[in-house]
Structure 1
Amino acid sequence: MRGILDNMTSTSGTTSGTSERSGGTDTPARLLQLLSLLQTPREWPGGELSDRLGVSRRTVRRDIDRLRDLGYPVQASQGATGGYRLVAGKAMPPLVLDDEEAVAIAVGLRAGAGHAVEGVEEASVRALAKLEQVLPSRLRHRVQTLQIATTPLTSGDGASIAPETLTVMASAAAGQERLRFAYRSGDGTESRRLTEPHRLVSTGRRWYLVAYDIDRDDWRTFRVDRVSSPFATGARFVPRELPTGDAAEYIRRSMWRGQPSYAIDVTFAASAESIAARFPAALGTPEPLTATTCRLRSEVTDSIEWLAVRLATAGCDFVAHGPPELVTSLRELGSRLTRASGT
């Protein structure tokens, strides 16, 4: 925000230590207020902007020119009902939010980040980290209060994660700062880790941190829901080259290591489009047989029991051709559900 103010002050033609004033309003502050109004998707008549800002229409026109010089594509329309509106440009200049907008966005990002919802990826966490870094303490308190006072009706399949954990990790990775945290392994073993964080990865059900473990002198993956008390040490590091080059691929290989794979083969009495929309892409791409049937053949590493349950949610008839373990699991699941229904 300081950089925006500096640019606006420079554009307004003022000198260091002084500011142009119009109607008792500091020019940079007035430009930010004008920008906040224009970023609302509507057209603002010049007279209404003049009244809102407490300045003359001539000053409004001059301020519009300054915003254009800063790269904001402000469009003017002529006529009795003409006015100003911000249109889409080739680049995204800095966004100005009022208090309510900043709180709403922060709460939304925190709610999404707290559950590993598919589609809420690292970019969302980076946005949350940037926003919370510049939020005034009064707004940060409002965000936290609202978050505590609300309970989501739905959540992801994975464990809930404190948004602060994600933002600390994202900030440390972006700033190339060593990260220290407590970690609980799958067997319950507690340890302290000092790492060079590389990237956060969402698998849809869980968040993972890919990082170089200093004490173990090797790359590691950490389930974020097993992390506690993370903090950036302030010590900078030179990024190392990840063996796979891609963090998502590294996570995929780590998860598959030592796990059996299965070649599934299933025919569905539904179109390929409907089946593709119902199941995650990791299960493979169904091949259309006719307009109303398709076949799914792929190599998967998920548990057989989980595959059987997912197939049972297909919403149509299907036939499992293999592997034998899947056929057996489906038969057992069907018997169990029949007994549960009391039939």
Structure 2
Amino acid sequence: MSDRKEDLERQINLTFAFLSAGSYSRKFLTQAWIRDNVGGYKGLTDGAFRRKLQRDLAYLRRVGVPIEQFTLDTGDNQQAYRLSQDSYELPEVEFTPEEAAVLGMAGEMGQNQELGAFARSGWTKLAAAGAHRDLSRNTALTNAGDLRTLSARNLDTIIKARHRTKQITFSYQYSQTVPPVTRRMDPWALVPEHDRIYLVGFDLDRDAPRSFRITRVSDIEVGGPATHPIPEGLDLQDFVRAQLRHKSVLVDATLRITPDRAVELKAAGVEQPDGTWLFNDVDRQWLVTTAAAHAPEAVVLEPEDVINDVVHLLRAAQQEVV
């Protein structure tokens, strides 16, 4: 990805975070929160992070996003940021060709020679599990972040409905093996979480708050007036994480990772004094597919059941080649 596209993707991630922050109990973002939760800032030195964040904030202000900076009343001069809601009225959403290219990056891959080479390899098994290899420049692997598959139309529709206090209807397909179903929702926010984006709101069919991964949502349409506002004090980031813990199997694991490789994996782990990487409470399926996609630069050392699943996935990929 070009530097400009990386900048655009990071700035869009940051914009999502600001749009959702008004729904959090704290109503603002700190530098530490941005660094830990917004894609594009992890792995930077303190100085590089601050410079990149300030450039991104300046850019967003320049294009009309009214971001306020203030000092928290904590006694340590900690800086925080928030949207000025009084002066912020979202205009009609339009994307330049370059911005559309960032949002539709996964779709573009399907139209070039990279996918042809990719499909002829055993990596198709890994792709079906959620990972892909970038064959354009080197052997580094990356996970297909949800932002890269979010269409401009769907983004436009969700944001318009949210700011006009409207319901939405959409098709939801939990997996490729089951048919899609129509769902109705009062949308609250798009919440980023570890390179994934979740549509959060009040599910009118289930009569309860729900989150839906945006990659499983399609055919979004604006409906009638929304009748369920965000509950007072509800932190949507915490809500999404609680939903994921309920739905997912979380594991602890230890991996050996080659230096300067598997950046996505390292972002979710902590390096140990012996050079291994420790992962606590990570989604088991994500770990299996991502570790397999990064093999042999990433090797699971424990637990044994995760090792076995990674080996099984790699053997299935090898059989595709044979």
When the two structures are superposed, what TM-score results if normalisation uses the length of structure 2? 0.49
Q: Which has the larger radius of gyration?
A: 1
Instruction: Report 1 or 2 for greater relative contact order, CA contacts < 8 Å, sequence distance ≥ 6.
Output: 2
